[in-house]
Structure 1
Amino acid sequence: MSRQTGNTAADAPQVDWTRAFDAQSQAAFGEAFAADIVLEATLLTRPIEGRERVARVMAVMSNVYETLEFTHQATNGPRTYLEWTAVALGGLQMKGVTVLLRDEQHRIATVAIHHRFLNESLLLSEHAGKQLLDVLDPDDFYDPAARTR
């Protein structure tokens, strides 16, 4: 589904996360996040913490996707599970699951993003590392050059 026409299927109603992903803005993500949010992701070598940093990462990364559709959603207590499909970086096909954990104020306190498959994840991680040098360290992402040293 095109980013311009929405990003959720019938089985995945809009929530603050999907709306922020559709808006592709740091402010939209920041509004949904707890101050002490933690981002864990397949693309990262370690967790990222704090509303401003995580919102910046998500704003940059949401712009990498040419298309993204949240296809299924389930909620169990404070956790929401979102399945998705995406195309990034000129045709790179991806699938994944995002798990949102909310705090007592219903803000997103933890985000865990699981990309499939390995090759696509490594390419996207390498790209993200180049895009986010103003916020994160290069070693927060996959770097094929570091593997050959």
Structure 2
Amino acid sequence: MLQIQLFDASVLNGPCVGVETNAAFFAATAGGMYETIEFTHETTNGMKMYLEWQGKAFRKYVSGTTILTRNNEGLIENI
């Protein structure tokens, strides 16, 4: 089971810390925020994975990079 402890994004006032806070964020944004979204490139360097994406949200084109950090067990620890 995925249990992300820290999620940070440029659109947030600060990081979401803890499983319950992260779950609330994803529940709020997953329900139709994006009209389209697709991952375009992926790169891994050590314990970090970089995912580039693009899409459309609120009738505007958006893009960004998501960085996943894994722990020693290979589980996602930070986003």
Relative to the length of structure 1, the TM-score reads 0.49
The answer for the alignment partner of 1:23 in structure 2 is: none
Q: State which structure, 1 or 2, has the greater radius of gyration over its C-alpha atoms.
A: 1
Unaligned runs of 5+ in 1: 1-30, 112-149
Deviation (angstroms), 1:61: 1.3
Q: Which has the higher helix share?
A: 1
Q: Higher strand share goes to which structure?
A: 2
Superposition pairs of residues 10-89 of structure 1, within 5 angstroms: 31-34=1-4, 37-63=5-31, 64-89=33-58
Structure 1 residue 109 corresponds to structure 2 residue 77: yes
- Where in structure 1 do 4 or more consecutive aligned residues deviate above 4 Å? none
RMSD: 1.3
Greater relative CO (CA pairs within 8 A, separation 6+): 2
Count of residues in Structure 1 that have an aligned counterpart in Structure 2: 78
TM-score by length of 2: 0.87
Q: Structure 2 unaligned runs (5+)?
A: none
Residue identity over aligned pairs, in percent, reads: 35
